Structure 1
Amino acid sequence: MLRQCRKLMRASNDSKPILVRHASPHRPQEFGPELGIYVAQEIVEQASQEFAKLTTLLDRTVWKKWEREYPQIPTADKMKLRRLVSEKNANAIATLSTHVAESTLWGYIRRTYTSDEHLVLSAARNPKAAFRMREKIDGVLESWRG
């Protein structure tokens, strides 16, 4: 099945293949004529369930780590970060999810606790500005460590 999916994907002119469920022969127009990877509906549902379980497990892993590292995170921030991390991890690949979570944490702190958005925009040109921003973020993280 995987070999057949790859053949169909290579035959497509589209550089971004679309995951399409296999349509019933009784209703051929149900999903339209999109090209992509064609798999049985049961396989798509099974893969979706496994992906949801993996995402939940990754979220739990990230939060266990953060609860040990940052026990003093304010409750409001914790709730917002949980939502943000879950949204971002839903689109992340398993090995990159911890990196995605860390960058989400840093971005959240930068947006919430600093008012120097211009420093982020000028950081490429001014290493001192980037260093000041990092010091502010590290200060917030240090206060969360307790």
Structure 2
Amino acid sequence: MIRTAFVLAGLGLGLAATMAQADPIAERQQLMKGVGRATREGAAMAKGDAAFDAAKAQGIFKTYADAAKTMPTLFPETSRTGGETTAAPKIWEDQAGFKAAFAKFEADAGAGAGVTDLAGFRAAFGAATKNCGACHEVYRVKR
């Protein structure tokens, strides 16, 4: 009985993963919403609108690093259109540059992972979020 439950749970997880990959546009939109939430939280800390919290700072950089690792895999050729995507054709025309942008984002997020004070957070947060703007400028269609 327990073995059957584990098998069914494993099948459910596998099915969920398959379904998520079946709609990469929705998955990348959800991932970017998480990055947006983390960025808003980080901006509030950086501006002084919220108190600096080292644990929250670590969470922000973890969100960024996780997104940077996952995001480049969510742009298969079949996801160029549909799902109200704002992905620019440049993504598929310049895969090397696109992947390099996420590698830089991941590196900057990793550099911020060890911050313990507001000054360090501001510097690392600024470097990481600068990547967001640069990537969106080239690889995102403006609405």
TM over 0.5: no
Q: Which has the larger radius of gyration?
A: 1
Structure possessing the higher relative contact order (Cα contacts under 8 Å, 6 or more residues apart): 2
Structure 2 length as normaliser, TM-score? 0.37
Structure 1 length as normaliser, TM-score? 0.37
The structure carrying a bigger strand percent of its residues is 1
